Amino acid sequence: MTTVQPAAILSGRYQRAFTLAVLFLVAGWHLAGAGGQLLHNRTAYGSFAFQGAMWLVMALAITAGAVLVLRGTPGWRAAWTVAIVALAASTVAAAVSPAGQMLAVNWAWGSAGWTCVLVLMRRRFAELAWFLAAEAAATLSVQAWDGLHRADLAGFLAVLAWSTGAQVAVAAGVRALDAAAGQAATAAHSEHVARERAATMEIIRAARHARWLALQESAVPLVAELAAGTADPGDPQVRTRCAVQAAGLRRLLAEGDEVPGSLVHELYASADVAERRGIAVEIETAGPLPPVPRPARRVITDAAIAILTDARSQARITLAAVTAGIAVSFVADTGACVRLPASGDGLVIQQQQDGEMFWAEVRWNSQ
């Protein structure tokens, strides 16, 4: 996972799972609970067709709500449009129920409440509370219009406590699970970052060890000879070896700098020693350059060090992107052919001597 953020992706998956669970609950209630009650009491309604139409309206509201929540947390306008449609269908269905039997045959109260839970469960909790209160008030008003008795009021309060309590509990549970999912996702992301950091540190340690081994094989013997007096600093060959090792050391230090355009960065570091000897070095780039892996960069910079070490007064390095790779060309007044490093995987080296001028090209192909 990348940081579309691993924590956000994981938390989003958990939230989608919770949303699907609530969606199945709401759809199941409307189909089995409300639908079953509607069919069971079909003979009690003045117009079963009208009640069936209201049931279909509620089903459409649930479908619209499902589409909204599966796309994310719905906006207040869309969420409340669905909620008001459900409230209206519930109130109308209750109003046309047989007088004195509204609580017994009213299938719509529960469906409207669960529809509200579906579309408002991730909005402010006050919105859910306001809807449930409005639904209860509408249902109580219908019951009062038909004539409210003590037994009816007790039944209303019992149904209110059961249905509203269950709906509030589910909404609160979803919120708690969302919070837990967010915490779990954050913890997983922190662990992932820690593993990445450890892996990066191991890569850095291995790279440092490789550079140390390279120095042990090349620079350390030369320093030991100079310290022992077996190598004469005035000897041109010794001075050339020192220049090569100095350029190589700067290149190794530059390899530790993970920056955009690492190859150009390392070539500048390799050219520094030649410039200190008075060599005019030009490094040019043509267009955006692709990233080059470290082994290929090592061969290219080794070639640059060899050419710049033999250059007498001037050198030019040109980098250009080619199909699936990069081409690095060198021109320098070496006066003689330069011994270049062997080609590696994906690398092709060409060279040509023309009088005092030496030309070479190192081409790296990623394929």
Domain ranges in the chain? 6-188, 235-365
111 versus 179: which is more confidently predicted?
111
Answer whether residue 1 shows pLDDT above 50: no
Instruction: Say how many C-beta atoms besides its own lie within 10 A of residue 2's C-beta.
Output: 7
Has this prediction a pTM greater than 0.95? Answer: no
Check whether 150 has a pLDDT greater than 60.
yes
pLDDT at 250 over 70: no
The top-scoring range by mean pLDDT among 13-27, 45-59, 151-165, 199-213 is 45-59
pLDDT above 80 (res 193):
no
CA distance linking residue 60 with residue 62, whole number of Å: 5
Helices (H), the chain: 6-28, 35-40, 48-70, 76-95, 102-105, 108-120, 125-146, 150-217, 219-228, 236-255, 262-276, 294-310
Which whole-number Å values give the CA distances from 293 to 118, 150, 181, 269, 340, in the listed order?
A: 52, 84, 39, 17, 19
User: Which band of pLDDT confidence, cut at 50, 70 and 90, is reported for residue 344?
Assistant: confident
State residue 359's pLDDT score: 94
Name, in order, each residue with C-beta under 8 angstroms of 169's C-beta and a sequence gap of 6 or more: none
Pair 26, 118: CB distance under 8 Å:
yes
Please state the separation of Cα 301 from the chain's center in Å.
35
Residue whose structure tokens are 């909790």: 125
pLDDT of 3 > 50? The answer is no
Please tell me the predicted confidence (pLDDT) of residue 285.
84
Under the banding of pLDDT at 50, 70 and 90, the label for residue 9 is low
* Rounded distance between C-alpha atoms, residue 197 and residue 93, angstroms: 61
List, in sequence order, every residue forming a beta bridge with 329; answer none if it has no partner.
Answer: 318, 361
Quick check: 248 pLDDT over 50? yes
Alpha-carbon distance of 341 to 215, in angstroms, equals: 17
pLDDT of res. 4: 43
Ranked by mean pLDDT, the top range of 168-177, 199-208, 344-353 is 344-353
Confidence class for position 191, pLDDT limits 50, 70, 90: confident
The confidence band for 286, taking pLDDT boundaries of 50, 70 and 90, is confident
- The confidence score (pLDDT) of residue 247 equals 62
For domain 235-365, which architecture applies?
Answer: 2-Layer Sandwich (3.30)
> What is the residue-averaged pLDDT of the chain?
81
pLDDT of residue 242: 78
Q: What is the mean pLDDT of residues 349-355?
A: 90
Q: Which of 55, 51, 63 is nearest to 118 (CA)?
A: 63
C-alpha–C-alpha distance, residues 346 and 194, integer Å? 34
The confidence score (pLDDT) of residue 197 equals 74
Confidence label for 72 from pLDDT (cuts 50, 70 and 90) = confident
Predicted local confidence at residue 349, as pLDDT: 92
